[in-house]
Amino acid sequence: DSGVTQTPKHLITATGQRVTLRCSPRSGDLSVYWYQQSLDQGLQFLIQYYNGEERAKGNILERFSAQQFPDLHSELNLSSLELGDSALYFCASSGEQGGTQYFGPGTRLTVL
Partner 1 sequence: GESVGLHLPTLSVQEGDNSIINCAYSNSASDYFIWYKQESGKGPQFIIDIRSNMDKRQGQRVTVLLNKTVKHLSLQIAATQPGDSAVYFCAELGGLNDYKLSFGAGTTVTVRA
Rg (CA), the chain: 13
String of contacts with partner 1 for each residue 57-86, x by CB under 8 A: -x----------------------------
Q: Select from 61, 46, 56, 39 the least CA-distant residue to 97.
A: 56
The answer to whether 28 contacts partner 1 (rule: CB under 8 A) is no
Q: Is 56 in the site for partner 1 (CB under 8 A)?
A: yes
Residue 94 or 111: the one with the smaller Cβ distance to partner 1 is: 94
**What per-residue string of b and e applies to 19-49 under the rule 16 or more CB within 10 Å gives b?**
bebebbbbeebbbbbbbbeeeeeeeeebbbb
User: Which positions lie near partner 1, rule CB under 8 A?
Assistant: 2, 4, 31, 33, 35, 42-45, 48, 55-56, 58, 90, 92, 94, 97-98, 100-106
